[in-house]
Amino acid sequence: MYIGNIKIDGVVALGPMAGITTESYRRFMKPYGVALSYTEMISDCGIIYRNQETFTYLPSNKSDHPVALQLFGSSKETLLQALAIIEQEQVPYDILDINLGCPMPKVTKNGGGSSWLTRPQELFEMMSLLVKNSPKPVTAKIRLGWDENSINFFEIIHRLEEAGVAAIALHVRTRAQMYSGFGKYELVENLRSKMRVPLIISGDIFTLDDAVKARNITGAEMVMVARGGVGHPHLIQQIDHYYKTGVKLNDASLQEQIVAMKHLLKLSVEDRGEKRTLNEMRGTLPKFLTGYPHTKKYRVAITSQATSIIDIENILLQVEKDALSV
Ligand SMILES: Cc1cc2nc3c(=O)[nH]c(=O)nc-3n(C[C@H](O)[C@H](O)[C@H](O)COP(=O)(O)O)c2cc1C
């Protein structure tokens, strides 16, 4: 399938996650079968003010592809300005994605993220302008609506299609739900058949069965793996492989998880340095061990005792020794 002129070879999108989908994380996940990835959301104003930290979120020459660069902002003027700078800087990306789903008050109170869903006309004007000015395909990531009483994803999808977007990702929760409760799949049955552009469906994809259900219910071309893939990269492989061959792969062994952890650690240190890696991996690496027996003490050690990358490497050696002796 294509998103605009970008060829997408598979059904799995790696969902944007602030603080997680760094370039090294995306490069780590790619070989498991990611057909499209997203940067974490990037502030348009951060780009306009040339904030150093913001610039580290932009794809570099080492990035995986195809990658959607996700911008958030609260006005068409600032989003357009940020786009002009990104183009001027020749940032290597494939798709421009606009965040219309972030529920965080610090974003919505300024008019960004999911608060756009409450201003469909302004949203239409902003997206039309971006589509007109962007040399790359423009996509959007939305939620069902602001809250239970204002579910308007259908109207928003049509406005976005009118504006000329090349695909839409829908997280099947309202803004008010944040990340809790369950995705409301009952509201999106056969949604794709009522749309003109490809649909990427997001919400509670934690197993291969979840992915199959989400696609069957909605008719979406792609499923977006977000929280379910953190610590479980094989989930992406299971989904990708199933849709390419019809074969269901087993869950990863502890040995495979250890190999994956070491690889992620290596890529992250190379890319982000030891200090940032240590902070980020204290949260991420223990998730690779969740569900594997006798690993709790190692999860705790990574989160609360490791004070250097060498400490983490030693803990992983210990996990490996234990796994081999069982
Ligand atoms: C920690 C975290 C950070 C997220 N950051 C972003 C983001 O920057 N942009 C975005 O569009 N969605 C973001 N999301 C939403 C996810 O991409 C996804 O739509 C959502 O988690 C639902 O999928 P899941 O239930 O399978 O995790 C984030 C989610 C989490 C848990």
H/E run at residue 220: none
Q: What angle do CA 63, 65, 69 make, to 5 degrees?
A: 75
| CATH 3.20.20.70-classified regions of the chain | 2-245
Whether residue 204 has its Cβ less than 6 Å from ligand 1:
yes
Residue 323 CA to ligand 1 center (angstroms) comes to: 32
Pocket test for ligand 1, best of 179, 201, 223 (most atoms within 8 A of CB): 179
Query: Given the structure tokens 């509670």, which residue do they identify?
Result: 204
The fold of 254-325 is 1.10.1200
Q: Check if the beta carbon of residue 180 is closer than 8 Å to that of residue 208.
A: no
Predicted local confidence at residue 324, as pLDDT: 76
pLDDT, the chain, mean: 97
> Which two tokens mark 64?
């995986």
What's the full length of the chain, in residues?
A: 326
C-alpha span between 64 and 61 (Å, rounded): 9
Q: Around Cβ 155, how many Cβ atoms within 10 Å?
A: 12
Ligand 1 atom having least distance to the Cα of 183: 25
Whether residue 104 has its Cβ less than 6 Å from ligand 1:
no
Whether residue 202 has its Cβ less than 6 Å from ligand 1:
yes
Whether residue 23 has its Cβ less than 6 Å from ligand 1:
no
Whether residue 97 has its Cβ less than 6 Å from ligand 1:
no
> Does the pLDDT at position 325 exceed 90?
no
> Which two tokens mark 213?
């259900």
Q: Which CATH superfamily is domain 2-245 in?
A: Aldolase class I (3.20.20.70)
> Does the pLDDT at position 226 exceed 90?
yes
Helices of type H across the chain: 23-29, 44-48, 52-56, 76-88, 105-108, 120-133, 153-163, 208-218, 234-245, 254-289, 296-304, 309-325
Average pLDDT over residues 89-100: 98
Buried b (16+ CB within 10 A) or exposed e, 5-44: ebebebbbbbbbbbebbbbbbbbbbbebbbbbbbbbbbbb
> Does the pLDDT at position 316 exceed 70?
yes
Ligand 1 atom having least distance to the Cα of 169: 19
Ligand 1 atom having least distance to the Cα of 205: 26
| CATH 1.10.1200-classified regions of the chain | 254-325
Average pLDDT over residues 147-154: 97
> Which two tokens mark 125?
């004007």
Average pLDDT over residues 173-186: 95
